[in-house]
Structure 1
Amino acid sequence: MFFSKQLLSGPAQGGGVSGWVSALLGSTRSDAGPVVTPASALSLTVLQNCVSLLAESIAQLPLELYRRAGGDRVPAVDHPLYAVLKYQPNPWQTPFEYQEMTQISAGLRGNSYSFIDRDADGVVQGLYPLNGEAMTVLRGSDLKPVYRMYGAEPMPQRLVHHVRWMSLNGYTGLSPILLHANAIGYAQAIQQYAGKSFLNGTALSGVIERPKDSPAIKDQSSIDKITGDWAEKYGGASNAKKVALLQEGMTFRPLSMTNVDAALIDALRLSAIDIARIYKIPAHMVNELERATFSNIEHQQIQFVIYTLLPWIKRHEQAKSRDLLLPSERREYFIEYNVSGLLRGDQASRYAAYSVARQWGWLSVNDIRRLENLPPIEGGDIYLSPLNMVDATKPIPLPPGKSEPTRAEVKEIERILS
């Protein structure tokens, strides 16, 4: 049993530690200056939005353990794992909380670890989350991963449920945070710059100017009285649109946004889009609505499910099947998230699709009601078939009570046509 050499091999980027190696070490300093860690990166609102959006979206999906029954599938309610996945993964977490925490850990660090509590027969009794920062992945002589928590004995693969993100070595996933430390550090640097600008800088709405040839007011109390009276009479929303009278040649000049302020706003927006790109989150889902329209948001929502959520869902499904089902059970049982609710369009589009499916006979009334979370009705399991649909390989049948035409009838038709 030894530390996998593959975990420390690979090409370096630039002159320092490569992005993927730093993803294994836990932190790295970005080119912009700030040290990037999963905890510091989570303070960025857009990154927190992306990570929590993925975690909450997956955690809210119904998770089912199915048993294959011929060409059908049925919920495996009698299997011990069913209650663990559906109702109580451990004594203090709900299924939503456990799945949310698992995805947050995978989204930040690229790996999520849980201890699998098994009885003497190997049946899963519970899932207990482990601290990923204290975990080391080893490789045994049989090439299977072995897991060691800091200060604890190594655990074999059968005792650890491991969900990993994109991997270069097959054993550990890369951390999205540290792999893209420069993009995140750039956003952190902009945020720090903006905070210090508000702390140390000045922001004036305007200035009152006096003519150059007028004598200067050297008494500070007089200056304070002029500016104080101006702010009291004309400052705030309650004094909007009032008319001011300036004497002694004074003028009021409002100050507009500087080019630096405008560039800072653009930089914040671009850094937010760049972080959303790391997690493949559509811009409108991080409240960047500059180019969003009502016509394209629905399609972007479906694309989010297909291209962003489904890869993560497949990782969780297949990791659960690998780690929680015994090898002898995998041909009969499988674990699946139900994403059909997220793929539903608006009400008019759904009802139009249901109408077509009902008329052409591949959905029954109760099938449609189940898709809409409605209870079944009596007689709702009947499938319709259009009357004008026939087998193309067989002759068209005659209507009831009709027989083949006689020779005289055929000649009479030919005479009429000629």
Structure 2
Amino acid sequence: MFFSKQLLSNLAMTQMGSSGWVSSLLGSARSEAGQVVTAHSALSLTVLQNCVSLLAESIAQLPIEIYERKGDDRVLAIDHPLYAILKYQPNPWQTPFEYQEQSQIAVGLRGNSYSFIDRDSSGVVQGLYPLDHEAVTVMKGSDLMPVYRVYGSDPMPQRLMHHVRWMSINGYTGLSPIMLHANAIGHAQAIQQYAGKSFMNGTALSGVIERPATAPPLKDQGSVDKITDGWNAKFGGAGNAKKVALLQEGMTFRPLSMTNVDAALIEALRLSTIDIARIYKIPAHMVNELERATFSNIEHQEIQFVIYTLLPWIKRHEQAKTRDLLLPSERNQYFIEYNVAGLLRGDQASRYAAYAVGRQWGWLSINDIRRLENMPPVKGGDVYLSPLNMVDASKPIPLPVSKPAEPTKAEIDDIQRILT
């Protein structure tokens, strides 16, 4: 092995003991609103957690396959050693879903995801071990190739590191979405903190009971409490809704509506939600912002989410895996791909209509359709139809050849009568 198991275990213990200290030094930024923004504090925002987990869970649930090219066709490379690593067990303690989810969360928060590639003496991948973002330093070698140092270890070449990066300026490390948009995230944190202190220290009343100005004042606070407590006991709560009250001595009850400050606070929270969703290109309805939703084109918006939001992240993972996990001699023969067909399927009526078109025009067979619907093939289902009314446009249109109809007995009698 190029990297011993003992060193890997020592690195894991060092990460666990030092990650908090290193994160406090390197992984934070102060926004203009005065909030210290870190990956953990940003993740406490519900909308940002929604965006990050939505991307991570959407990608982690996709089937990942390794294919072998055979001419114009491709087949699953079940016998390839990497097949079991990607499909069943990337390392001894994580499932493929957990590993892929953690990798995408790291890229979504930090802009980079690092995993140590455990290879045998022949270079075959034996496992993928995720590394803490703060534990890895990326350097540029004399040959312009990236070199990785993990907590003071000897520099490791690229063949031992699986690195997925977000948008990059220098080409070696990805930008952190959290640090890049620290002001927007800090603004949202400040609004939440203000709202929390307002509810903790402020006073929120549902209404007030007013007495006429000419009425004599009540003698003591006990008399006031007796009236308000009796009102709450009889008319407060959902169980006492729609009851009829009788007020004496000219008293009136005046409910209090939302103040302008409350309305402005709610609007500011909504705008901060949309602003954070915009960082990850998440549609508003997918972060439960439904104020202006019409539900007339939700299906098309979800397809747009797959194409314009999810697919760029998927391509990053696919191409990084192809680059890092396949040997250079294998890349022309094998490739790694996520199956997103299930996310792009429309409703049942739309799918069946599309299948009918493909079947009638000859580019889908019965078994092709059944495979798309996760159904087993049937005998004789690989036959493709050919429309009879389709001809080669470069050739003249053939004229119909029809056999003359046999004359009827009446027509024969008429002919004989004319001839005689």
- Give the Cα separation in 1 of the matches to 2:26 and 2:375: 51
User: Gaps (5+ residues) in structure 2?
Assistant: 1-22, 405-420
Tell me what 1:273 maps to: 274
Q: Percent identity?
A: 83
Which amino acid is the alignment partner of residue 349 of structure 2? A
Q: Does 1:288 align with 2:289?
A: yes
Tell me what 1:192 maps to: 193
Tell me what 1:369 maps to: 370
**Secondary structure in 1 aligned to 2:149?**
strand
Tell me what 1:90 maps to: 91
Tell me what 1:180 maps to: 181
- Give the Cα separation in 1 of the matches to 2:399 and 2:214: 111
**Secondary structure in 1 aligned to 2:75?**
strand
Tell me what 1:319 maps to: 320
Q: For each residue in 1:268-322, what CA deviation from the matched residue of structure 2 results, as whole angstroms up to 9, or x when unmatched?
A: 0110000000000000000011222222111110110000001000100000010
- Give the Cα separation in 1 of the matches to 2:378 and 2:294: 39
Which amino acid is the alignment partner of residue 66 of structure 1? Y
**Secondary structure in 2 aligned to 1:196?**
helix
> Superposition pairs for residues 49-60 of structure 1, below 5 Å?
49-60=50-61
Give the deviation of 1:198 after TM superposition: 0.9
- Give the Cα separation in 2 of the matches to 1:61 and 1:29: 37
Tell me what 2:299 maps to: 298
Give the deviation of 1:130 after TM superposition: 0.2
- Give the Cα separation in 2 of the matches to 1:166 and 1:393: 50
- Give the Cα separation in 2 of the matches to 1:247 and 1:289: 45
Q: For each residue in 1:340-375, what CA deviation from the matched residue of structure 2 results, as whole angstroms up to 9, or x when unmatched?
A: 110111111111111111100000111011111111
Tell me what 2:212 maps to: 211
How many residue pairs match? The answer is 381
Tell me what 1:334 maps to: 335
- Give the Cα separation in 2 of the matches to 1:249 and 1:395: 100
**Secondary structure in 1 aligned to 2:250?**
coil
Give the deviation of 1:249 after TM superposition: 1.3
Give the deviation of 1:402 after TM superposition: 5.0
Q: For each residue in 1:206-238, what CA deviation from the matched residue of structure 2 results, as whole angstroms up to 9, or x when unmatched?
A: 011111122221411111111000000000111
Q: For each residue in 1:122-146, what CA deviation from the matched residue of structure 2 results, as whole angstroms up to 9, or x when unmatched?
A: 0001000000022111111111111
- Give the Cα separation in 1 of the matches to 2:146 and 2:271: 40
Which amino acid is the alignment partner of residue 49 of structure 2? Q
> Superposition pairs for residues 19-38 of structure 1, below 5 Å?
25-38=26-39
Tell me what 2:161 maps to: 160
Which amino acid is the alignment partner of residue 74 of structure 1? V
Which amino acid is the alignment partner of residue 42 of structure 2? A
Tell me what 1:101 maps to: 102
Tell me what 2:19 maps to: none
- Give the Cα separation in 1 of the matches to 2:382 and 2:401: 29
Which amino acid is the alignment partner of residue 102 of structure 2? M
Tell me what 2:74 maps to: 73
Q: For each residue in 1:19-53, what CA deviation from the matched residue of structure 2 results, as whole angstroms up to 9, or x when unmatched?
A: xxx9x942100001110001000000000000000
Q: For each residue in 1:381-410, what CA deviation from the matched residue of structure 2 results, as whole angstroms up to 9, or x when unmatched?
A: 01001111111223444557759xxxxxxx
- Give the Cα separation in 2 of the matches to 1:299 and 1:32: 37
**Secondary structure in 2 aligned to 1:341?**
helix
- Give the Cα separation in 1 of the matches to 2:263 and 2:125: 57
- Give the Cα separation in 2 of the matches to 1:230 and 1:381: 77
Tell me what 1:413 maps to: none
- Give the Cα separation in 2 of the matches to 1:402 and 1:392: 27
RMSD after superposition: 1.5
**Secondary structure in 2 aligned to 1:330?**
coil
Which amino acid is the alignment partner of residue 181 of structure 1? A
- Give the Cα separation in 2 of the matches to 1:126 and 1:149: 17
Which amino acid is the alignment partner of residue 236 of structure 2? G
- Give the Cα separation in 2 of the matches to 1:380 and 1:400: 34
Which amino acid is the alignment partner of residue 366 of structure 2? V
Tell me what 1:220 maps to: 221
- Give the Cα separation in 1 of the matches to 2:118 and 2:219: 80
Give the deviation of 1:264 after TM superposition: 0.6
- Give the Cα separation in 1 of the matches to 2:135 and 2:202: 42
- Structure 1 stretches of 4+ with a deviation exceeding 6 A read none
- TM-score, normalised via structure 1 length: 0.89
User: Gaps (5+ residues) in structure 1?
Assistant: 1-21, 404-418
- Give the Cα separation in 1 of the matches to 2:263 and 2:392: 69
- Give the Cα separation in 2 of the matches to 1:338 and 1:344: 12
- TM-score, normalised via structure 2 length: 0.89
Which amino acid is the alignment partner of residue 307 of structure 1? Y
Q: Which deviates more, 337-346 or 212-221?
A: 212-221
Which amino acid is the alignment partner of residue 167 of structure 1? S
Q: Does 1:148 align with 2:149?
A: yes
Q: For each residue in 1:100-150, what CA deviation from the matched residue of structure 2 results, as whole angstroms up to 9, or x when unmatched?
A: 000000000000000000000000010000000221111111111111122
- Give the Cα separation in 1 of the matches to 2:315 and 2:85: 19
- Give the Cα separation in 2 of the matches to 1:357 and 1:370: 14
Which amino acid is the alignment partner of residue 263 of structure 1? A
Which amino acid is the alignment partner of residue 96 of structure 2? P
Tell me what 1:139 maps to: 140
- Give the Cα separation in 1 of the matches to 2:276 and 2:82: 37
**Secondary structure in 2 aligned to 1:342?**
helix
- Give the Cα separation in 1 of the matches to 2:208 and 2:402: 100
- Give the Cα separation in 1 of the matches to 2:314 and 2:245: 63
- Give the Cα separation in 1 of the matches to 2:245 and 2:154: 79
Q: Which deviates more, 127-136 or 45-54?
A: 127-136
Tell me what 1:114 maps to: 115
